[in-house]
Amino acid sequence: MEHVSVLLNEAIEMLDVKKDGIYVDCTLGRGGHSREILKRCPEGHLYCFDLDQNAIQESTPRLKEIGSNFTCIHAPFEQLGTILDRYHIDQVDGILMDLGVSSPQFDDGARGFSYREDARLDMRMDQEASLSAYEVVNTYSLEQLQEIFKAYGEEPFAYKIAKEIVTDREIAPIQTTFQLVDTIKKALPNAVLKKKGHPAKRVFQAIRIEVNHELSQLQTVLIEGLKRLKPKGRMVVITFHSLEDRIVKNAFKDVAVAKKVDKRIPQIGVEKLEYHLLTRKPVTASVEELKNNPRSHSAKLRGIERNENE
């Protein structure tokens, strides 16, 4: 399936692209957001990150249709700071993130992201990375599996599923996505299997987050990215599940919302905030978008701006 960018207009509008600005798209994907940034900054420059070689190869010609003032970087976005330094860029006008996997990654059976396609357990966004879903499923201890299913999948049957995996893999390694789905189904009560939604969804999400270090990557890039914004520079982030959204919400709150003070204790000076929120509540997809793009259902967009120096 062609990747249809989520919250495209809303995110680009929020970024408020300047025609000579320096921008970073941390998640190039198929270039939907990057193309819109490029159209609006003919005299600036856009740096695009992606872990996935296919994303860079496919999107480069699409971006060239618009201009040549961009640089694609095959690296994890947690390296934002180091890579901007390499290009001698201290601060930027805007940073965009549209997290998660793209439709082509999900639909490509061979990548092993989908519980609906039979494939070798993989789930690596970066095809050169050493850790894949196969190692997680076949070498992590019962406790480690239970922990990631609970923490990254919010899976209520984390222990039972971890136990079933450990039992099954003693007979032979679990090689494929469908084998893993079968193991998960064996661990779940009938009542849960009858519920709406795929029974393997939470566990697949958890393994994908573990394989790609998604939450630690996000935490690092938020801290570094906020430091790298110019005054009036903006960061906009689209998330697709509650764990990601919580991390973004808290990172923004930490720098843009005054801490509650105990009025009984005399305060010296007033806390000066360097940033302000562009969204008190996250922006979600319109009725129209919800109808046309199923990926938009869980999407949440948040934005923040660095204040001008006084």
Instruction: Report the interface residues with ligand SAM, using CB under 6 A.
Output: 3, 5, 27, 29-33, 49-52, 55, 76-77, 98, 100-102, 125, 217
Contacts 24+ apart (CB under 8 A), 187-193: 187/157, 187/160, 187/161, 187/163, 188/157, 188/160, 188/161, 189/157, 192/157
| Backbone φ/ψ region at 263: left (φ over 0), alpha (ψ -120 to 50), beta | alpha
- In whole angstroms, the minimum distance from the beta carbon of 3 to ligand SAM comes to 5
- In whole angstroms, the minimum distance from the beta carbon of 187 to ligand SAM comes to 29
Nearer to ligand SAM, 44 or 100 (CB): 100
- In whole angstroms, the minimum distance from the beta carbon of 52 to ligand SAM comes to 4
Nearer to ligand SAM, 92 or 181 (CB): 92
- In whole angstroms, the minimum distance from the beta carbon of 212 to ligand SAM comes to 6
Nearer to ligand SAM, 28 or 187 (CB): 28
Q: What token pair was written down for 169? A: 């893999």
- In whole angstroms, the minimum distance from the beta carbon of 282 to ligand SAM comes to 16
Nearby residues of 140 by Cβ (< 8 Å), 6 or more positions away: 148
Other Cβ atoms closer than 10 A to 268 = 4
**3-state class of 280 per DSSP?**
coil
Nearer to ligand SAM, 121 or 211 (CB): 211
DSSP state letter for 285:
-
Nearer to ligand SAM, 76 or 199 (CB): 76
Q: How far apart are CA 128 and CA 4, in angstroms?
A: 26
